[in-house]
A and B are shown apart, each in its own frame.
Chain A
Amino acid sequence: MNLVRFLALSMVSTVLCFSVAEAADGKSDRPVRGGDPVVDEINKYLRQGWTDNEVEPSPEADDSEWLRRVYLDVVGHIPESGTVEKFLSEKNSGKRRELVSELVEDPRFVRHMTTVWANVLIGRNAPDRTSREGLEKFLRESFAKNRPWNEIVYDLLTAEGHFEQNGAVNFILGQLTGNPNRDDYAVEATAKATKIFLGMQVQCTQCHDHPFNDWKQNQFWEFNSFLRQVRRRDVDKYDAASGRNVDDYSELVRRDYEGPVYFETRQGLMKVAYPKYFDKEIDSGKKTNRRQQLAEVMAKSDGNQQVARAFVNRTWGHFMGYGFTRPVDDMGPHNPPSHPELLDFLTEEFVKSNYDVRQLVKWICNSEAYHLTSQFNPKNEIDNPSIGEIPLFSHMYVKALTVEQLYDSLIVATNADQAGKGSYEDAQRQKEVWLREFMRIFGGNEDDEPTLFSGTIPQALMLMNGDLTKQAISPDKGAFLTTVLSSPKLRNDNQRIQALYISALGRIPSRAEYAKIEKVMRQAPSPIMAYQDLYWALLNSNEFVLNH
């Protein structure tokens, strides 16, 4: 590399660079967000919170910060370079709202929601004899049609049948293990269903009244009695090659069950519980399909709209980094929400919209708070939920990428799957291998708010030295870096550095950054090595692994 030339060029700002720098200085016009009555109300409630707590919101995020965020949150990966360049150069003041509308209609939104919800429902490592593919197919079709959330919940609670033909069975199937005649057969299913669909943690009340919420032990068993008419059936088949029986398929079947369930209190008293959802009792006779009754009352006629409330809370948490309660699935009088009126309002509107998932996403992504930068300002430093404060949403909270977001973003940033000469199938196979590795090293089933980088040494080593990174910075023909460096459109080092920044971080480097990088590049043994080091550093940077 000609360093003198590099230095000279880096002093010259491109037009693009200039306009962004201006936006970051806050001099550009700040488009008015909102315009939708629901969004206006959200803004009103949050502003009230800022006033009451004497904080000032941070400035609006610049286009590149916001674009990267909305891509990660809505479609699950960073934007491609071309998208970034196009979005930054557009002048239309309504472009953010237009983009949100486009993204929720994008198949990648469906894919991302499917991943997120499959993880919530059965975890990243699907339990034995549970079909993740089946569940994903059900979710994919549901989100693609934008089916109302309460109908999706209804199906997940009532499904019967083959685990691939009716993928909705996998949620309950995944919770059933052991002897179906034992009292604890449906205990996990009870705990998971209430936690996920109602946002209520009742698992402790299995054995005793809850020490710090309103749940009583009898309520756990009342709820549990709804799930007693269920059993998994695992079917094997003969495998001629090995001469042994192997897994074939599993299904969820209805079993006869009538009457109450019995449970024991800590004091050793036996008690009975009949199927009862809060104050609504269901006939406990043999003819009642209890799961159907439960799904009816929970998803369709619950005056408290708890299914809607739980979904709103979790979705808010997905986009804003924190829900209105912490954790998002532990709601109740013992754990008051940060913005009770806003939560009520959004729940109400979500129900009125007929549980329209895309509409809810649009409301949140168009809200003022979603557009704020993740930088604190001196007047909102107290708004720091990572040290236990109640979230005020006066700036965006930094979120760690999930393993799926990280993996897909690496693929987007590097085209690593397309490098090499193999066929499409080879490329897919390679991608699968990498993904499995990522899952193993980054996986884990922690489903709480990923607000801090949960970095471990094996994770860092994988990003530093793993095959995907090696491939991305390989000097071989066809590798991403080589493609960028040999592109005839990029005529000088300044432009090349910018191209790498855009593809990894979705933004243009500042002048100070150009200068610093140049200084380090100068120490490299060769220009290609200098670029390899730069791209390696971009992919390993905190800015890359965080959604801000």
Chain B
Amino acid sequence: MQFATPRGMSRRHFLNHMAVGGAATLGASQFLQHLQANAAEVQKNQRACILVWLGGGAPTIDMWDLKPESKNGGDFKPISTKGDLQICEHLPEIAKVMDKMSVVRSMSTREADHTRGTYFMHTGYVPNPTVVHPTFGSVVSYELGAKRKDLQIPAFVSVGGGGMDPGFLGMSNAPFVVDAQGRIQNADMGQDAGRLGQRLTMLEAVEDSFINSKRGDSGKAHKDIYIKARDLMTSTQMEAFRVDQEKPEVRAGYGSTPFGDMLVMARRLVEKGVPFVEVRNPNGWDLHNDVFNTLRRTNLPNLDKGIAGLVNDLKARGMFENTVVICMGEFGRTPRINQNTGRDHWAQSWSVLAGGGGLMGGRAIGKTDADGLRIESESYLPSDLWATVAHSLRIPLDTVHTSKNGRPMKIANGGTPIKDLIG
């Protein structure tokens, strides 16, 4: 495993070295106090969001909103849960924690193309050729990142693959992408900490004249990033990425699968104070063929243990009330089952799982008709979902960002928090 903890030198030695070299902005003792202030208590009260992304578009009609009486119903039976709703029989562990989570059954989002749907669900905006809207993790990073003074990990981490665009909020709010094993590219210099210190000291000697030469702020901005990169490379917080340090029984609670471990990592990151973590479910959900076998054999058991494990673990650590958990993909799938026993893309009436962070649990919010084709209640957009998350994270809903071409943009596209979720 690639990892950035300094080797061959104690942390204290390293910090002293840095201080002597003149590259450290914080003295060693100050720095250590900082670390102590990082104790669990501080982060416990910090709000966070974990987005579990089911890329490809999950068949929510088979998961959260079953239609057993309809020809669209498919193979699965509903089962009762600890909440006031029924879900799929292949999600028995989630059923046990369903008093804590709710299902919004009336999402209606009109974008049934993967790229457009992914964009819409992440940003709350439909794609527009001339503005790139920030994915909501970037919004949270922008709003809360600077307030987490002790946080050395970037404020928006994406676990398990491609991140989304920070848009007009800029690359400093881009997702910090790590793979499923928590490996961070280029985090290791392959040298001991002494060399890192030596190099940064040299860097300062080389570039100070430019910074001091009155050419504007770019030089300083560059230096700030290097300080952040150095802090990250040497930070004890990097342990958050090391799921292998977790007790085996904790990992077992999440199913001991790659997906389960990604969620363990998300919880560890939130514990360190990271306000937004996106976890990409490694199973493919674009189920045009053989939907029921795929769900039964792999996708659902994997999801079931992972989500239930996450909810239980957050609860056990007293973090659930401060951590919103959202589980969704870019759209649902057609109620009609196609000739390949699959379902195609469907954005008109589908479901999202949400809970934690003070949101109501155990509820089915919104209603689709008997065949799952139409919504028979108020329908919701991704903007409403993100407004709900913003509400939970205590980000004011009247926040406005300005795009690069000067257009004012309401946070979460001016959506309204979903009443039945916020209680």
* Interface residue ranges, A against B (CB under 8 Å): 175, 177-178, 187-188, 191-192, 195, 201, 203-204, 327, 330, 374-376, 384, 386, 397-398, 400, 441, 444-446, 448, 451-462, 464-466, 470, 510, 512-513, 516-517, 519-521, 523-524, 529, 533-534, 536-538, 540-543, 545-546, 548
Contacts and interface: CB of A to CB of B under 8 A. Distances in A.
A175 B214 CA distance: 43
A510 B209 contact: yes
A541 B165 CA distance: 27
Contacts of B224: 455
Interface stretch (B96-104, B179-187, B351-359, B371-379): B179-187
Nearest to A510: B209
Contacts of B215: 374-376, 398, 548
Chain B interface: which size bin?
35 or more
Nearest to A212: B406
Most-contacted residue by chain B among A192, A462, A465 (CB, 10 A):
A465
B185 A458 contact: yes
Interface in B217-263: 217-219, 221-226, 228-229, 232-233
Nearest to A128: B115
A203 B130 CA distance: 7
Contact of A466 (B21, B129, B186, B406): B186
Interface of B: 21, 113, 128-130, 132, 154, 165, 170-172, 174, 176-177, 184-190, 195, 198-199, 201-203, 205-211, 213-219, 221-226, 228-229, 232-233, 404-407
B90 to A, nearest CB: 30
B202 A517 contact: yes
Contacts of B185: 441, 458, 461-462
Contacts of B407: 204
B130 A455 contact: no
A459 B129 CA distance: 26
B404 A444 contact: no
A534 B222 contact: no
B214 A465 contact: no
Nearest to A202: B130
Given A188-B129, A203-B128, A459-B225, A384 B216 contact: yes
B206 A465 contact: no
B165 A545 contact: no
Contacts of A455: 171-172, 221-222, 224-225
Contacts of A456: 154, 171-172, 174, 225
B202 A327 contact: no
A540 B130 contact: no
A465 B218 contact: no
B222 A546 contact: yes
Given A201-B405, A445-B132, A386 B207 contact: no
B130 A201 contact: yes
29 contacts: A175-B129, A203-B128, A375-B213, A384-B216, A398-B218, A444-B171, A444-B174, A445-B132, A445-B165, A446-B132, A446-B170, A446-B171, A446-B404, A453-B225, A454-B172, A455-B224, A456-B154, A456-B172, A458-B174, A459-B171, A460-B225, A461-B187, A461-B232, A465-B187, A466-B186, A521-B202, A533-B195, A536-B202, A540-B203
Contact of B205 (A470, A516, A548): A516
B37 to A, nearest CB: 22
Most-contacted residue by chain B among A191, A201, A445, A455 (CB, 10 A):
A455
B207 A543 contact: yes
Given A375-B214, A464-B226, A466-B186, 14 more contacts: A191-B129, A203-B130, A374-B216, A446-B171, A453-B218, A455-B225, A457-B232, A461-B187, A462-B186, A520-B201, A523-B21, A541-B206, A542-B219, A545-B222
Contact of A542 (B187, B211, B404): B211
B202 A520 contact: yes
A327 B131 CA distance: 13
B253 to A, nearest CB: 31
Contacts of B213: 375
A457 B154 contact: yes
A239 to B, nearest CB: 18
Contacts of B223: 542
A470 B207 CA distance: 20
Given A191-B129, A461-B229, A541 B199 contact: no
A195 B203 contact: no
A408 B224 CA distance: 25
The 3 closest A-B pairs by CB, nearest first: A455-B225, A460-B229, A542-B222
Contacts of B216: 374, 376, 384, 386, 397-398
Contacts of B21: 523
Contacts of A188: 129
B132 A546 contact: no
A523 B198 contact: yes
A457 B176 contact: yes
Contact of B177 (A203, A458, A517): A458
A464 B4 CA distance: 13
Contacts of B199: 533, 536-537
Nearest to B219: A542
A542 B218 contact: yes
Contacts of B130: 191-192, 195, 201, 203
Nearest to B177: A458
A529 B186 CA distance: 20
Contacts of A452: 217-218, 221
B132 A461 contact: no
Contacts of B154: 456-457
Given A464-B229, A465-B186, A541 B217 contact: no
Given A453-B225, A513-B209, A538-B206, A327 B405 contact: yes
Given A465-B190, A537-B206, A524 B176 contact: no
B4 to A, nearest CB: 9
B219 A546 contact: yes
B206 A470 contact: no
Nearest to A386: B216
A513 B154 CA distance: 34
Contacts of A520: 198, 201-202, 205
B123 to A, nearest CB: 15
A27 to B, nearest CB: 19
A529 B218 contact: no
Nearest to B20: A523
A203 B128 CA distance: 8
Contacts of B207: 537, 541-543
Contacts of A445: 132, 165
Contacts of A519: 205
Nearest to A540: B203
Most-contacted residue by chain B among A448, A453, A459, A510 (CB, 10 A):
A453
Contacts of B176: 457-458
Nearest to A546: B218
Most-contacted residue by chain A among B189, B190, B210 (CB, 10 A):
B210
Contacts of A177: 113
B209 A512 contact: yes
B57 to A, nearest CB: 17
Most-contacted residue by chain A among B154, B174, B405 (CB, 10 A):
B405
Contacts of A454: 170-172
